[in-house]
Structure formats: C-alpha cells, structure tokens
Amino acid sequence: MAEAAIRIEGFVKDYPVGIRGKRVRAIDGLSLEVGANQIYGLLGPNGSGKSTTIKLLLGLLRPSSGVGTIFGKPAGSLAARQALGYLPESPYFYRYLSGRELLRYFARVSGVARATREERVVAVLERVGLSAAADRRLSTYSKGMLQRIGLAQALVHDPQILILDEPTAGVDPEGTAAIAAIIRDLKERGKTILLSSHLLSQMEDLCDHIAIINRGRLLCEGAVEDLLQLKGAESYLVEGLDASGQAAVKAGISAAGGSLKQVTPARRGLEHLFSEAIQAEEGGAE
C-alpha cells in the first residue's frame, strides 16, 4: 500500500483564553489522509479550522494532541518541511525586490544548491508565466502576478507537496484561470497539492478529493465524484423527440418515439453539498 503524502490522526488544538485557564478548541479530533499525486481540497466556512490545520502540518503550531505526518515524517520536522512548499493566504514580500531577486532569496534559504540555483529560478519563472516580468519590482505587479510569484517561491526548491491557502484570493477571472492551469500542470508532474479555497466551483473543477470541516471537526470526506453523486437518481440524455414527444417523456421514452443515448448518475454541485453539510452540522450542534 502506497504511503500517504499527508496523514492527520486525531489532531486537537486548544488555545488559552484570558487568565483563568479557559481554553477554546479550534481543532477537535480531526483525522484525514491525502494520497500522493492528489489535488485535495480542504473546505469550510471562516473559522472552521482550515488555516490552523495547515499551520499544524507546517510545524508553525504544535497540536495539543494527535499526530501529523508528511510522507511518514513527523509534521514540523526538517525532513517534512523540506518536502513542502507553502503559499499563505496573504503573502507579503519586499516590494522593492524584483521577481527574480525574490526567488533567488527563497532558493537560497530553501537549500537549493548554488550550482543549480539560477536554473531553478529561471524554470519556475517560466512555469508561472512571469519570465517577461522577472526583473520588474514587485511593487509594479498586479494581484494575480503577486499570487503567481508566491506560487513560484513555493516551487523553487522542487517540493513533493504544495500547500496552497486561498491561492486565487482577490485575483480576477483571467488570473484565476492561469493559476488553476498551473495547479493542474503540477499534478501532471507528480506533485501533491493540498488546496484551501472558498471558490467552490473552482474546487469542484480542480480537486480529486475534498474534505469539509467545521468547528475543527470533519463533516465529510472522499472523492469528489462520489460525494456529488445523488444516490438513487439518474440523468438521461434523449434525442429525436418533437414537441409532443417531449411532453410525453414522463409517460415513457420509448412510447414517445425517442432513443435513449446515455444514462449517467445524477449529480449535485459542490456548493449544494457544502451548504447541506454545514447546515446539518450546525443543526446538530444546537
């Protein structure tokens, strides 16, 4: 059995509040598994625990209890961090640097060998479509360009796993499509991507698997197609019906004179599933 790229077992994270020892639970017994070479979507409303989960995996926070691993290495360890590239929700870069200078800096701090450093910088600039703007200051970059240079810095050391927190936040439709294309290309190159976003239509289109969490708890998880399929319902594609035949479909396709071309499982949208899961959890918590 192939080793999971990311495994979380029973993550709990409590934060102290005030001076009386009271604690607030941000993550409540969360367990999930991300397979290698998946695009895995982590979904949830604001305050659901997505960013905290990501910080626990990166080693920026320590869990109150539970275990996280990156290809079998403890989350937060040097070996685990070397396997990760991270784009935060609101990246901040020194805007007086050029795109090329920024990537040289991150290549150096990420341990890219001096002999291959410039080659890596050139390669990731090309991959994110910023070769022509490489020597412009970041202060002249659009929001979409800043997100792409942020993606480039996450890629510069060629990590096995990319963790992307709202990679298209504030980006226009054209820029969003460009970033989505980069993410698909990364999967084709064998990378694993853990993706957090509020753009549910994009997540439905991009992700192989998703998990929906709320209040730090897992509500549902699985392959996108399995979760969105409506059990016990089918979708029919029919051709050859005139107006009267269309009216008679409910009485029987054959009797109406049409030909049945395709039967597929009926499918709901991810927004529907998301709303249903959150409403059910909120109702159960009352």
pLDDT tens by residue, 117-171:
999 999 999 999 999 999 999 999 998 899 999 999 999 999 999 999 988 887 8
Find out whether 156 and 103 touch, Cβ atoms under 8 Å: yes
When pLDDT is cut at 50, 70 and 90, the band that residue 273 belongs to is confident
Q: How many CB atoms lie within 10 A of CB 252?
A: 9
More confident residue, 38 or 46: 38
Helices 143-155 + 114-127 axis angle, to 10: 140
What pLDDT, on the 0 to 100 scale, is given for residue 274?
74
Grade residue 230 by pLDDT with cuts at 50, 70 and 90: confident
pLDDT at 237: 65
* Nearest by Cα to 198 from 86, 37, 51: 51
Task: Determine if residue 24 is left, alpha or beta; phi over 0 gives left, psi from -120 to 50 gives alpha, anything else beta.
Answer: beta
Given this model, what pLDDT does residue 225 score?
A: 87
Q: Contact, 69 vs 75, CB < 8 A?
A: yes
Residue range 100-107: mean pLDDT, rounded: 96
